[in-house]
Amino acid sequence: MDDAHRSGCPINLTLEVVGDKWSLLVIRDIIFGNRRHFRELLTHSEERISSNILADRLKTLLDQGILTRADDPTHKQKAIYSLTEKGIELLPVLAQMAVWGLKYLPVSEELGIRAQLLDKGGPELWAEFMDELRASHLGQPRRLPPHPDGSVGERLQRAYRAVLARRAAR
């Protein structure tokens, strides 16, 4: 995987690593959905990833140093997947894709709300979110002060649920 690159262009190299239809969705679910186990990624996937594809993508993301895998002490068969710093720093890429998709593609109301917040919050909000991810995935102490309204992850989740509730009420 590390040899025989098509070119040394940073965009090309990035596409060689995450330029398929699934890798970034897996990372999205880990970041925004807080999925840490194989089953969670498999069954809570909006897009219904199949298990062989998921297994393959997790393997290459591990090989690439974007994720790490650890045993779950509560269950001998469970594995916990965590983001590395390299994985956490894919958040701006995902955020830009979300902003672009929100503007130009037929995004559903409930799934668009997060993109709206990411757009409105901009790079500062992304940095705050990455700070949280470093705490939850790498065990690093928080560098930024906690926000009075809760973590970015919580705020995004809350906004998502609020849209769902509003929709159900109609």
CA dist., res. 93 & res. 87, Å (int): 11
Q: Which region, judged by CB under 8 A, interacts with its own copies, from 100-108, 128-136, 149-157, 162-170?
A: 100-108
**87's tokens:** 């994985």
Instruction: Please give the distance of CA 39 from its chain centroid, rounded to a whole number.
Output: 16
Q: Mark 114-143 with x for binding to its own copies (rule: CB under 8 A) and - for no binding.
A: -x-------x--------------------
Among 3, 4, 7, 52, the residue binding DNA under the rule CB under 7 A is: 52
Exposed / middle / buried, residue 104 (Cβ in 10 Å: 0-12, 13-18, 19+) = exposed
Residue numbers 60-99 binding DNA by CB under 7 A: 69, 74-79
CA dist., res. 100 & res. 46, Å (int): 20
> Which residues on neighbouring strands pair with residue 81, listed in sequence order?
69
Using the rule CB under 7 A, is 38 a contact of DNA? yes
Among 60, 68, 82, 96, the residue binding its own copies under the rule CB under 8 A is: 96
Q: Which region, judged by CB under 8 A, interacts with its own copies, from 15-23, 52-60, 69-77, 146-154?
A: 15-23
Three-state secondary-structure class, residue 68: strand
The nearest distance, CB 43 to DNA, in angstroms, is: 7
